[in-house]
Amino acid sequence: MSVEYRTGITHARAVQDVSLNLKPGETLGVVGESGSGKSTLGLAVMGLIRPPGYVTQGKIVFDETNLLTLAPEQLRELRGRKIAMIFQDPMTSLNPVKKIGDHFVEYIHAHDSHVSEQTAKTKAKTVLEDLGIPGSRLDDYPHQFSGGMRQRVMIGLALTLNPSLIIADEPTTALDVIVEAQILQQLANLKSKYSLSLILITHNMGVVAEMADRVAVMYAGRLAEVAPATSIFATPKHPYTEALLESIPNILASDKVLKTIPGSPPDLTDPPSGCPFHPRCRYAFERCGKEIPMPVITGYESEAACFRLEEERARHS
């Protein structure tokens, strides 16, 4: 799948040729820095790419249906009921002059106007109590809630219609570390209780290490590598993943010397030729600046897009 943002004369290729799959019940972590395309990827699955953004090629198949071929009404029906999304900042997603309970009523009515307000509020109460918020607080306004509780409300809203997939885009980035840990723990518990699949989009390697079954690493709109969490952290195959893991501090590592990655992530309106990571890559050779590497299989459910791996393979066979 590819997504492009066309603004005036510049075209930003936010997502390019990304292929990924998700199994029922799985948590897929999508990691990347700002501009890596990770959020655009999430929005595309939700069918929320709006002009000047366009899905220029590819398919998004959910439960045997290609979402890109659905009519807007069908897509709206699917959104919320089957796939729901949680964003980073709950304050901008909640209406400040509306009571928490009314958010739930509105959300449920958007999908089924026949549900009585009473039924909707009962549902809201159950979901909130699952998240540790007393049902009596349905009559409060968002500003009476702390940041962590607002984000729980957002998670509650996402769960209301019993979707099978939740896409969480930086759900804990705006929160303090203790609240972050609380919410991640709850998310993990609810995932099994509501039999959800989860796409967790984040820049934080620690968060994916705690949560994900499999991890997809994105760089400059492309998929650098995807592999089971344990193997990606133990034996990263893509030079970007390897360098990233060597550059982040870890409170458990004793006197770890960090290795810095030179340069900074590229500008998507003017990306480097060839592999987008080659100007910063310690292993780059001539071919990397000329051609774009395709993903090669590197192990069980693992692939990485790097010429070094391709050449290694050629040498062995």
The contact set with another protein (CB under 8 A) reads 33-34, 132, 146-149, 176-182, 184-185, 203-207, 209-210, 212, 229-230, 233-234, 240, 243-245, 247-252, 256, 258-262, 264-265, 280
Q: Are strands 165-169 and 197-202 parallel, antiparallel or unpaired?
A: parallel
Nearer to another protein, 71 or 252 (CB): 252
Nearer to another protein, 39 or 160 (CB): 39
Shortest distance in whole angstroms from residue 246 CB to another protein:
8
DSSP conformation letters of 271-306: PPSSSTTGGG-TT--GGGGTSPPPPEEEETTEEE--
Amino acid occupying residue 9:
I
Shortest distance in whole angstroms from residue 239 CB to another protein:
12
- Return the structure tokens found at 219: 């760089």
Shortest distance in whole angstroms from residue 256 CB to another protein:
8
Whether residue 26 contacts residue 45, with contact meaning beta carbons closer than 8 Å, is answered with no
Shortest distance in whole angstroms from residue 133 CB to another protein:
12
Nearer to another protein, 143 or 290 (CB): 143
Nearer to another protein, 7 or 65 (CB): 7
Shortest distance in whole angstroms from residue 185 CB to another protein:
7
Whether residue 294 contacts residue 311, with contact meaning beta carbons closer than 8 Å, is answered with no
Shortest distance in whole angstroms from residue 109 CB to another protein:
31
- 162: Cβ–Cβ under 8 A, 6 or more apart, which residues? 81, 194
Determine what percent of the chain falls in helix, strand and coil, rounding each to the nearest 5. Answer: 40, 20, 40
**CA-CA-CA-CA torsion sign (284, 285, 290, 294):** negative
Nearer to another protein, 250 or 273 (CB): 250
CA atoms in the 13 A half-sphere facing the CB of 179: 13
Nearer to another protein, 55 or 133 (CB): 133
